[in-house]
């Protein structure tokens, strides 16, 4: 794939829609959207940038020299301060407009406007300046990226994703290599466009254990185009009861590498990549998250979970976090018995759903406890208690049916974000589900 991805927040999308609909004569309207650019320095994943909108600036009336239902013309002078801001804050300029009554694709007038804008931007900010062009027409977004190092290439993008209380993906490149029938039943349930949207996504799975491996294989079989698996752990024999795609021959190998090889060996239209890394210790892993559309947190590492909880707001992606807990006791014969067991699936978007602290999934004293044990693994429970560092969230043994059920529901939550299929009472919270086993 390796094409640029564009992300808007729901509030930014609504502001643009209000602006486009505000002309009393139904003329074209225009706006500037400023983007933050994120990229990956890793060789294997290089070349796939993500542009996340940070500000929307509607054109003022005195900026426009002429408009109709089929075109808009404007002065460049009012934009000079915005050009300067792009240079000073390292932002990418976006020119956004609508076609209220004309073609549902970019027009020759658009070509001229974008060329004039890009040339003015290059004269002010340098020859490598980029311009994102977005068009709202036919009730969906269309986009292209011009300038930069792409002078001789067609200005294509991967897609435009809007993150509100769900994810709306438009402008994506339909990849119909799934026409061999593998995803026909999924298309029958959700529609062929849904299948194409999944194919356009880049998804990270942090943690390649029981839940992470189950999530990754489900996503691969659902047709998600790119999967990035991040885990710094190595497979142990005790993992084999629940880690998908692993064999006895893989014991001692990197979990992320084993899972990557398994998924790529399925022969599906999916590209899997692995990072033997930890998101809270390796800056390159954070770089990878910034280019993803969706991130699944499948780790019991509280510090890593806190970082992903913060990153979803900084990088504007959808975050689905999984956890399992319970209590093991002994029966009358002294054998272990599972008294209770449950899974939690938290689904958070930048402007929808409570964060993990608000949900009670994260607590400051749990984080301090983990950090204290990292700094000194020999600390006793008494010493930790003296520091008011509690034992943290519940945990429970990883058992295949339970981690599998949690993964099933988490991937179903992703489906729900893209194509609503649930009917729930209005008072039911959708940012956290608990499965009681």
**Could you tell me if 234 and 255 are in contact, meaning their C-beta atoms sit under 8 angstroms apart?**
yes
CA distance 368 to 84: 42
CA 267 centroid distance within chain: 24
Q: What percent of the chain has pLDDT over 70?
A: 92
pLDDT at 316 over 80: yes
Least confident interval from 31-35, 259-263, 327-331: 327-331
pLDDT at 406 over 90: yes
For 209-238, give the DSSP string.
SHHHHHHHHHHHHHT-SEEEEE---B--GG
Residue 46 has a pLDDT of 67
Confidence of residue 340 (pLDDT cuts 50, 70, 90): confident
pLDDT at 384 over 80: no
pLDDT at 389 over 70: no
Q: Which is more confidently placed, 283 or 102?
A: 283
- Between the two ends of the chain, the Cα-to-Cα distance in Å is 40
Q: Which is more confidently placed, 238 or 177?
A: 238
Average predicted confidence (pLDDT) for the chain: 90
C-alpha gyration radius of the chain: 24
- The arithmetic mean of pLDDT across residues 75-86, rounded, is 96
């Amino acid at each position: 794939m390796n094409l640029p991805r564009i992300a808007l927040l729901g509030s930014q999308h609504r502001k643009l829609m209000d602006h486009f609909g505000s002309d009393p004569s139904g003329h074209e309207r225009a706006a500037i959207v400023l983007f933050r650019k994120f990229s990956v320095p890793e060789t294997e994943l290089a070349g796939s940038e993500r542009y996340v909108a940070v500000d929307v600036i509607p054109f003022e009336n005195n900026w426009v020299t002429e408009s109709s239902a089929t075109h808009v013309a404007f002065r460049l002078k009012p934009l000079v301060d915005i050009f300067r801001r792009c240079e000073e804050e390292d932002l990418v300029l976006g020119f956004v407009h609508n076609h209220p009554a004309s073609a549902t694709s970019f027009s020759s007038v658009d070509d001229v406007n974008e060329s004039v804008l890009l040339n003015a931007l290059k004269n002010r900010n340098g020859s490598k300046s980029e311009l994102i062009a977005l068009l709202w027409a036919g009730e969906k977004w269309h986009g292209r990226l011009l300038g930069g190092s792409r002078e001789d290439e067609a200005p294509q993008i991967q897609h435009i994703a809007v993150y509100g209380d769900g994810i709306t993906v438009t402008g994506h490149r339909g990849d119909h290599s799934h026409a061999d029938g593998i995803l026909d039943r999924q298309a029958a349930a959700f529609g062929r466009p849904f299948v194409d949207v999944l194919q356009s996504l880049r998804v990270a799975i942090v943690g390649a254990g029981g839940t992470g491996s189950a999530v990754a294989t489900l996503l691969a079989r659902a047709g998600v185009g790119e999967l990035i698996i991040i885990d710094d752990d190595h497979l142990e024999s005790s993992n084999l009861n629940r880690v998908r795609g692993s064999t006895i021959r893989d014991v001692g190998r990197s979990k992320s590498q084993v899972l990557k090889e398994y998924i790529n060996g399925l022969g599906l239209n999916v590209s899997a990549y692995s990072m033997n890394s930890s998101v809270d210790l390796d800056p390159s892993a954070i770089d990878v998250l910034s280019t993803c559309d969706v991130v699944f947190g499948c780790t019991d590492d509280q510090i890593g979970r806190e970082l992903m909880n913060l990153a979803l707001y900084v990088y504007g992606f959808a975050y689905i976090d999984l956890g399992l807990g319970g209590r093991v006791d002994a029966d009358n014969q002294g054998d272990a018995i599972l008294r209770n067991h449950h899974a939690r699936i938290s689904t958070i978007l930048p402007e929808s759903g409570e964060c993990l602290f608000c949900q009670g999934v994260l607590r400051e004293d749990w984080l301090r406890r983990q950090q204290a044990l990292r700094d000194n693994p020999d600390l006793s429970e008494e010493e930790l208690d003296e520091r008011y560092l509690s034992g943290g969230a519940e945990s429970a043994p990883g058992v295949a049916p339970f981690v599998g059920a949690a993964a099933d529901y988490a991937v179903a939550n992703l489906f729900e974000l893209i194509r609503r299929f649930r009917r729930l009472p209005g008072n039911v919270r959708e940012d956290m589900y608990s499965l009681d086993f």
